[in-house]
Amino acid sequence: MIFHLRSSRPVERSKVRGLFLKGVVFRFFIFFLVGLIVGFTPIPIVDQSKNNLSRHGAFSFHEPVIGKFQTSINSVDNDILLTQKSLPKGHINLEASMKLEMENKTLNASHSLYSSHDFALVSSKLLIIVTPTYSRPFQSFYLNRLAQTLRNVPHPLLWIVVEMSLQSDETVKILRDTGVMYRHLVGDHNVTSVKDTVIQLRNVALYHIERHQLDGIVLFADDDKIYSLGLFDKMVEIRRFGTWPVAVLTEDKKRALFEGPVCKGREIVGWHTHQTRLSRRFQIDMSGFAFNSTILWDPKRWHRPNIDLIRLHDSVRVGFQESKFVEQLVEDESQMEGLSENCSRILVWHLHLEAPQLLYPSGWLFERNLEDLIPLML
């Protein structure tokens, strides 16, 4: 009997080859699955530019409400200068617009970023300081004095400075040297009187806040007034509308007058005034109140009865501008709050230092040396 033996090697080889292929496929599947999970896992990235709102991040932005559209963004840190002038109405520099919108998002989100990192050093609300300015003898002194105050205010703070027609070189230099976050706006209106100029400049700032939906507390800080640092500490407590007394030195420098609220606690119960002949609804100074900027662009939040634009009007009589503007923000004193306990602290002073007839050199620069009045004794 003859037996035929068949070799088992081909069978063993096929089994090993099959196991090897299964192992390769299994490993490939595992690595693919791990890679897929890692790829879709969000990795937290800390954006230092948002968590550190630099005092030196200065920007300038031209934005007239009507007429020619001019826009420029000037970043001191990055030496970027983008200008676009004499464009038809409705055109805009796209790159400049994108940069500005990014800054708006940073400003509007800054209160949450700061409050989550350092409660003690920074405020939780963006303070929007609006300052109209124009060429006159004390302009440089006024702006420098106000800048020195604002640079000591905790972040976040945005200083909106508005000029008529163009950005003067003198104002640009002052703003760049302040170390304060600012926007430099330009109005484009044909006005002759100082009163109408200031009204239009404030309206340019209101339009800018409304258009870019800046979220914060707005203060009209005229450059010829003096502001206590305590004012800005109190402003972050404002929910809708806050007010405080303003001390006014008479032009003859003989008396100090008060204008603003009389309070019981933080409740408004009356008004100080030195203009009893004016039957104004609210006896208030333009730098004697601040308000939530969302009133300008979110009427539903505040249950405003109409959606008319909130603006100052040059047709209103002198002395009534402040009251008429406030009437657009609140219905009565119940929607106001006194800023300090019993409104007993003076936080703003108005000193009449202006000298209209004073002659001064253009740009405050002397082209030649002054004549020696007392020569040196050699």
Would you please indicate which residues are annotated as catalytic (active-site) residues?
A: 322
* CA angle 291–295–299, rounded 5-degree value: 160
* CA angle 206–211–216, rounded 5-degree value: 65
Q: Could you identify the residue written with the tokens 């950005």?
A: 167
Distance between CA atoms of residues 213 and 292, nearest Å: 11
Question: Which structure tokens are listed for 98?
Answer: 């994108």
DSSP character string of 231-288: HHHHHTT-SSEEE--EEEE-TTSS-EEEEEEEEETTEEEEEE-S-TTS--SS---TTS
3-state secondary structure 93-144: CHHHHHHHHHHHHHHHHHHHHHHHHCCCCCCCCCEEEEEECCCCCCHHHHHH
Strand pairing partners for 182?
159
> Is residue 285 exposed (0-12), middle (13-18) or buried (19+ Cβ within 10 Å)?
buried
Nearest to 117 by CA among 212, 50, 44: 50
Q: Looking at residue 180, what DSSP letter applies?
A: S
Q: Where are the beta strands (DSSP E) in the chain?
A: 69-75, 80-87, 127-132, 157-164, 182-187, 217-220, 225-227, 241-243, 246-249, 256-264, 267-272, 289-292, 337-338, 348-350
Nearest to 351 by CA among 222, 163, 206, 260: 222
